[in-house]
Structure 1
Amino acid sequence: MAYTPVHDHAAFDSSTVFSLPAGNDQFAHAAPHVASPENNSQPFPLNDGVAGYRKDYADVDLRGEVSPYWAGLPAVAASGPPLHPHHQRGWSDSTIATTSSAAVRGGDDYSDEFDDLDTTAANSSSKLSTHKHRHPRTKKNRHRVLCGSTTKSSWTLETVAVAIALAAVGAVLGVLGWFNGQPLPDWPYDITLNALIALLVTVATAGVGVALQGGLGQLKWVRFTERRAPLADLERFDEASRGTWGAVKLLGTGRGGYLGSFGAVVAITALGLSPFAQQVVTYQTRTVESPEGASVNRALNYTGALPGNTSSTGFVPLLPLKSAVYNGLFAENGRPGASLAFACPTGNCTWAAYETLAVCASCVDLTPFIEPDCSAANSTSSSASDAEDCGWKVPQGASLRTRAEVFSLTAQIPPARGALPHSTIARLLFMGSEAREGGANGGSTVQPWAKQCTFSACVQTLSSRVSAGALTEAVQREAVNTSVVDISDASADRDVYTFGADAAAPPYVLSIEAMLAMRGWFSALFARGGAVRSSAAFNRTITASPSAVVVNLTVGIASGTTFFDSDVVTAFYWNYYEYAGGIDMLVRDVATSVTVAFRGFLGAVPVAGSALAAQPYVHVRWGFAALPIVVVLAAAAFLGGAVWSSRRAGARTWKSSALAVLFHGLDDEMRERVLRGKGEWKRGDVGLGELKRRAQGVKVQLDEAGDASLLRG
């Protein structure tokens, strides 16, 4: 509040004599007037002024004497402007009490620091009545009012923050442990596991930050309480408590001590909390069984056949079987079983090994049995046969009649009298006069070869798998009925029975009608034919058949043109030169295609399999969890060290409070020394950088020797 000048009263006697209390000579030279705060150019120093007033006021002995009100004011008031003449006279007792209280308080904010002066005016005389006086509070009590209790510690917020950080990290570990190895959680609003982990780590980071801020902020008060330290350390600790860059600077300068440096390291390492926590979780893919299941057919029997007069056996095969054979011969896709129907909803399925009625193919080399054949040369020449005009033959019935004939195909169908095993469908004999790598036709360099391949009814044990929607099957076992049966007797049971791995189980059956249908059709399809190579005989009649197929095809050998009798011969010839083991491969393709036809007919039953699906799942890399755990535990340890260090030093719990710095700053002497330096100081000449430089060379300590805590040099 402002001080208001007191005017003269009518009852005031100018002749009144003021007498000073005995033994109080200090009031003899008191200023005759105290300037109001509005007109005083000097600030009202709370620490020195109020204390000075308290001391002077306590020494006054009011023994019924009239004492001027300015006798109890601080000495600093004497330096104010001169008094007006009319104010040199005394005031009434009520005015003195009111004005003195206001002058001492300097405002209502500090009214609780002082005791009231109970004064009573007896009359208009110049004497003050006896006052009841309570002594001011002691220095210790005054310090508690200004600074707070010296024993009470307020670390509740930091303790709770560390507890929350520990709980958050524990929750992260618990969540990761729960979902480790589990499928990705399907939470509402598309919330992901990463989002939950990021939230928990953010909470942990915030808790660590609160603990570090309080601990590092408190260490500066511990530093200045225990010993004299450079004034710049105050800023270093304050910056370290407010951010990572400040922690780096504190660690770089080495001014934090062991505990402060430890806290700075924790603050810097805390930057890796979120990245490391995100690295803990990875998402990998594994194959799991789908509940939808899978299925593929296997054949228990095959009876598909139709009566046909065009067949030598009286039966013709069904069109699906013919289509399967043509697919095996001409598709050349390396996937003869591609037309097999299966159910695999996921595109990746597996089946346990199972058995099915099938057609097996096997090939043997007949090259060691080749011998010269000069029958064709003898029939066209009256003279003795020339060895260069002879062909080759094998005892099984195949031949190359001349040197110009480079490839031949001969089919053998088992007779009804049982000359071949009962399960044999057909035999194919192949001969050639050229090596697969190529060579000149004719001459002594010609090396003929021969091969026999057999189609038989059998039982196969298959291992099937669908990968990326494509079916692949591997044959694990084959069982063939090698018994020889005479099928000429129509009254006998002529069906082909083949047992699988379990002899106690019912046999797999291929009806005699289906067998005869395939034998009759194969005898026409694989009729004997050949290929002739010549560089000049374009108009040459290769065979007597008017339906001969002439194909200009050059493979393997650079010279000459090759002429074929049929498309089937062309297919086998092409495979022979195009692929290693090409004839064996083509025969197996035809057998597999016929098996697919068996498994798609009426005698087929489904085989249950496992549908496999790619499932993403949570994989936890626990090594990355070490950093969050260590950081939170280190923050808790640092906070405990800061609390212990603060209590040991007797420092007040001011932490990073800016008010504590304002209320407990430098004393006047030290501030003057820092600001002025060695030369004359002007307020606008000292910048922040210069102040920081000067603070490096000034050592201060938190001192409580005076009326309040100050940083004194």
Structure 2
Amino acid sequence: MAQYAPVHDPSYDISPVTNYVPPGGHEHSPYTQQTHTPNTQPHHQGLPSETQSLAASDGQNPNVEFHEVNPYWNTGVPPGPTHQRGWSDSTIATENISPAYQKAGVLRQGTDHPVKKTTAVFSDSGPWTLEIVTILIAFAAVASIMGVLARFNGHALPEWPYYITLNALIALLATVATATMSISLQNGLSQLKWIRFKEARVPLADMETFDEASRGTWGALKLLVTRRGGVLGSCGALIAIVALALSPFAQQIVTYQTRSVIVDGPGSASVNRALNYTGALPGTTSPTLYVPILPLKSAVYNGLFAENGRPGAALAFECQTGNCTWDAYETLGVCYECVDLTAFMSRYCAPDAADNDCGWQVPQGARLNNSLDVFSMTSLIPSADGNMPHSTIMKLIFMGTEAQDGLAGDLKPWAQQCSLSSCLQTLETAVVNGVLSENMTGSVINNTVVDLTSLPQDADMGSYVTGSNNSTYLLGKEAMLSMRGWFYTLFANGSAVRTSEDSNRTITDNTVVVNLTVGISSGVTLFDSDIVTAFYWNYYEYAEQDGIAMLMSDMATSMTVAFRSFLGAAPVNGRAISVESYVHVRWGFAVLPIVVVVGTAVFLAAAMYRTHRTNTKPWKSSALAMLFHGLDEDMRVQFGSSGSLSDKKRQARGVKVQLDESDDGNSISLRG
């Protein structure tokens, strides 16, 4: 059974040590304690173990061993109460080292008694290796973030396996940088406390302040506010606080924006243009012996009556992405033109008309018979003897008694002429969100007058127009004659009459009688045909946009679509446009991560330099250093009288201590 006996000798400042007494030396006492005086006799250090085993024999229990315990791990005793400020790498000189004890790490000094080999308290070899490696890793992580962002800046979002995103990679690298930097910051701040206590007598409470600063942001903030760490400590605390924003700022560097890109590939964007149009069928009922094909008739009706604002909606196109564009191109089509004839109007009185019941007329032959004819439409179809340009399909003259800007019932006659002609159009085409839109930027009309009666039967009587690069576009003779013959019937002369109950009016199958209110016009109105009704409605309904010209434009566009959808059409390739997200780097947010890493490296270098300059042991945040080297005996006695931990903390604020080292370098403590 082992027994432990504490030993205390007030003649020593640290802890007493008992000389070893060999068995049998003094049988009357279990152990003998000898008090040393300075430089009077050799001082023997203890055995390599943490206790000394002293064999004794008291005649009663010869097997009992007494162990003297050093409660503060001080294995050596200085030759007297002499202490030296600062730190020392010195060790006790050794002599007469036997090979056996050299192998066991044990020395003997002057005698055969084994003694423990004395070394430096902590080794100085490579104390900052971990911090240097981790700060290099932090630099590599931040550099990787900048490299990745520079690589993908302005490029489409990368598609990586397992749905890994760019933000996830940046967040990972930022986390690595933050974690590795924290090691250098924590150990650097911890090392500053040893330097601070080495250089001056400071309040003992600063030990806890530095310790808290090395463990977290709250402690760093306290160190910064209290200014207990000096300039270097405050800088380290500030860096530790700002480092919290490294990861958010790193992810704020990159944003995602959208842009339009061209999608390559055949058939990605295509629309037809008409190089020629020859669609016609023989028809003996037509005055020209040709009738239009049904797609063209459908196009004319669509332009007249659809009123959907999209006369070109029937045009087929290819656009894979729903957004496409084309360079300007030429196509054969139908153009319209409207001119004002009001200035050429004159009074017209029928031979049997009363003096007060006259109408108006224009030189082209169109007229209003009397004041009851509030609206009229007169068609002029080119004849074979060439009374109009050969490209002209039809002319329409509209007249009325109530102007758009007048008052209901006020006589304010007006006249307008519109024409349809084959032409060469220059178009800009685009598809936006799947909707086709076209803008005509130019047109060419061949105004040559041709007398068909003077040409041979087999002569080429088509309507030609020359485009860019001397390319020629043709409207075939049959197609031209078919449209003229059909329009002669479809756009037959007609009028609109607003009459009272006793008015006489011949009602036919085509007559339309409606009680119509549109614009300034209202009342029961009789129309000779639906075509007249359509132009009358547009004239008053769309006064600001020139309703008649609008209807003529819709009809011309719809007929052009029919030209571009029949034989003689050729595709025009365009560019499909896709909207993609791409990486946009805001380099201003990269300043903080770079500054934090550089600041941490500078702080670490300064802490290493201060450690070397002050010859301070690189204990950093080691808990063993705190356990091995605590307060001296006087400080322990002083704090031992305090009650709770909070009382000790309050007392520590007023007690100033400094690191002190014994002469042999084996013992270091905080002394008041």
1:698 aligns with 2:662: no
Match of 1:398 in 2: 366
User: Greater helix percent: which structure?
Assistant: 1
Distance in 2 (alpha carbons) for counterparts of 1:693 and 1:516: 113
Residue number in structure 2 paired with 1:333? 308
1:52 to partner: Cα distance? 2.8
The secondary structure found in structure 2 opposite 1:476 is strand
1:305 is aligned, of 269, 280, 284, to 280
d(CA) in 2 for partners of 1:160, 1:712:
35
2:387 is matched with 419
| AA at the equivalent of 1:103 | H
**Distance in 2 between residues matched to 1:709 and 1:67, nearest whole Å:** 38
Specify the alignment match of 1:606 in structure 2.
571
**Aligned match of 1:360 in 335, 356, 363?**
335
Which residue of 2 is the match for residue 70 of structure 1? 31
List per-residue Cα deviations over 1:331-360 (Å, max 9, x = no partner).
Answer: 111111110000001001111111111111
Find the counterpart in structure 1 of residue 459 from structure 2: 492
Q: Which amino acid aligns with 1:294?
A: A
Residues 324 and 590 in structure 1, CA contact (< 8 A), matched pair in contact too: yes
* CA distance in 2 between partners of 1:438 and 1:672 (Å): 114
With a CA cutoff of 8 Å and minimum separation of 6, indicate the structure with the bigger relative contact order.
2
Select the residue among 401, 408, 418 that pairs with 1:453: 418
Per-residue deviation, 1:259 = 0.5
The answer to whether the 8 A contact 2:510-2:530 is kept is no
Shift of 1:199: 0.8
CA-CA distance at 1:189 after TM superposition: 0.7
Q: Is the 8 A contact 1:406 1:432 kept in 2?
A: yes
CA distance in structure 2 between the aligned counterparts of 1:44 and 1:405, rounded to whole angstroms: 136
C-alpha change, 1:547 and 1:568, in structure 2 (3 Å) is: closer
CA-CA distance at 1:380 after TM superposition: 4.0
Measure the CA separation in 2 of the matches of 1:644 and 1:593. Answer: 86
Partner residue in 2 for 1:133: 112
Structure 1 residues 527, 47: CA separation in 2 closer, same or farther (over 3 Å shift)? Answer: farther
Alpha-carbon offset, residue 187 of structure 1: 0.9
Give the structure 2 partner of residue 514 of structure 1. 479
Give the equivalent residue in structure 2 for 1:81: none
Q: SS at 1:53's partner residue?
A: coil
Give distance in 1, aligned partners of 2:384 and 2:207. Answer: 114
Aligned to 2:198: 225
- Corresponding position of 1:168: 141
**Alignment partner of 2:17 out of 41, 53, 66:** 53
**1:673 offset after TM fit, Å?**
2.1
Pairing 1:556–2:519 present:
yes
Name the SS for the 1:632 alignment partner. helix
Deviation at 1:137, TM superposition (A): 5.6
C-alpha deviation, 1:192, in angstroms: 0.8
Matches within 5 A, 1:514-663: 514-534=479-499, 536-537=500-501, 540-543=503-506, 545-557=508-520, 559-579=522-542, 580-663=545-628
Deviations 1:578-622 (A, max 9, x none): 222111111011001001000000110111111111111111111
Distance 1:273 1:212 in 2: 14
1:152 Cα deviation (Å)?
3.8
The whole-number CA distance in structure 2 between the counterparts of 1:52 and 1:672 is 16
Offset, 1:71:
2.4
Cα distance in structure 1, aligned partners of 2:304 and 2:262: 37
Which structure carries more strand by proportion?
2
Q: Give the deviation of 1:667 after TM superposition.
A: 2.0
CA displacement at 1:307 relative to structure 2: 0.9
Alignment of 1:185-224 (within 5 A): 185-224=158-197
1:275 partnered with 2:220: no
Q: In structure 1, what is the Cα distance between the partners aligned to 2:67 and 2:636?
A: 27
Gaps of 5+ in 1: 4-35, 76-88, 116-130
For normalisation by structure 2, the TM-score amounts to 0.85
| Alpha-carbon spacing, 1:472–1:628, altered in 2? closer, same or farther (3 Å) | same
Offset of residue 401 of structure 1: 1.8
**Aligned equivalents of 2:264 and 2:522: distance in 1?**
61
Matched position secondary structure for 2:193: helix
SS at match of 1:295: strand
Deviation, structure 1 residue 638: 0.7
How many Å separate the matches in 2 of 1:636 and 1:347?
54
Instruction: Read off the aligned partner of 2:652 and give its amino acid letter.
Output: A
* Aligned 8 A contact 2:382 2:392 in 1: yes
What is aligned with 1:667?
632
Structure 2 distance, partners of 1:111, 1:649, is 26
C-alpha contact (below 8 Å) 1:403/1:441 kept by paired residues: no
Please tell me whether the aligned partners of residues 404 and 441 of structure 1 are also in contact (alpha carbons under 8 angstroms).
no
**What is the total number of aligned residue pairs between the two structures?**
613
CA distance in 1, matches of 2:303, 2:10: 110
Q: 1-side partners of 2:489 and 2:352: how far apart?
A: 28
Distance 1:106 1:694, change over 3 A: closer
Distance change (3 Å), C-alpha of 1:106 and 1:247: closer
TM-aligned CA distance change 1:548 to 1:700, over 3 Å = same
What is the distance in 2 between the residues matched to 1:522 and 1:45? Answer: 133
Q: Which amino acid aligns with 2:612?
A: R
* TM-score for both structures, normalised by structure 1: 0.80
Q: CA separation of 1:43/1:49 partners in 2, compared to 1, >3 Å: closer, same or farther? A: farther
Task: Provide closer, same or farther for how the CA distance between residues 65 and 525 of structure 1 changes in structure 2, counting only shifts above 3 A.
Answer: closer
Shift of 1:440: 2.8
Q: Report the CA distance shift for 1:516/1:225 in structure 2 as closer, same or farther (over 3 A).
A: same
User: In structure 2, do the counterparts of structure 1 residues 362 and 591 end up closer, same or farther at CA, with 3 Å as the change threshold?
Assistant: same
Q: Which residue of 2 aligns with 1:103?
A: 67
Question: Structure 1 residue 544: deviation in Å?
Answer: 6.1
Gap change, CA 1:363 and 1:326, over 3 Å in 2: same
Amino acid at match of 2:157: L
Q: 2:660·2:668 contact (CA, 8 Å) conserved in 1?
A: yes
Tell me the CA shift for residue 671 of structure 1: 2.8
User: Is the 1:237–1:250 Cα contact (8 Å) retained in structure 2?
Assistant: yes
Residue pair 2:8, 2:15 contacting (<8 A) in 1 also: no
- For residues 172 and 90 of structure 1, the distance between their equivalents in structure 2, rounded to whole angstroms, comes to 75
Q: Percent identity?
A: 54
Distance 1:636 1:45, change over 3 A: farther
One-letter code of the match for 2:617?
R
Give a deviation string over 1:550-580, Cα, whole Å, max 9, x none.
Answer: 1221111265333322111111111112222
2:151 aligned with 1:178: yes
Q: In 1, distance between residues paired with 2:307 and 2:136?
A: 72
Whichever of the two has the greater Rg, that structure is 1
Q: Secondary structure of the equivalent of 2:449?
A: coil
Amino acid at match of 2:227: G
Provide, for residues 111-133 of structure 1, a one-character-per-residue CA deviation record: whole Å limited to 9, x for no partner.
Answer: 99999xxxxxxxxxxxxxxx943
- Mapped partners of 1:170, 1:594: distance in 2: 64
> Does the residue aligned with 1:502 lie in a helix, a strand or coil?
helix
Residue 469 of structure 2 aligns to a residue whose secondary structure is coil
SS of corresponding position for 1:70: coil
- For 1:709, the aligned partner's letter is I
- 193, 202, 209: which is aligned to 1:236? 209
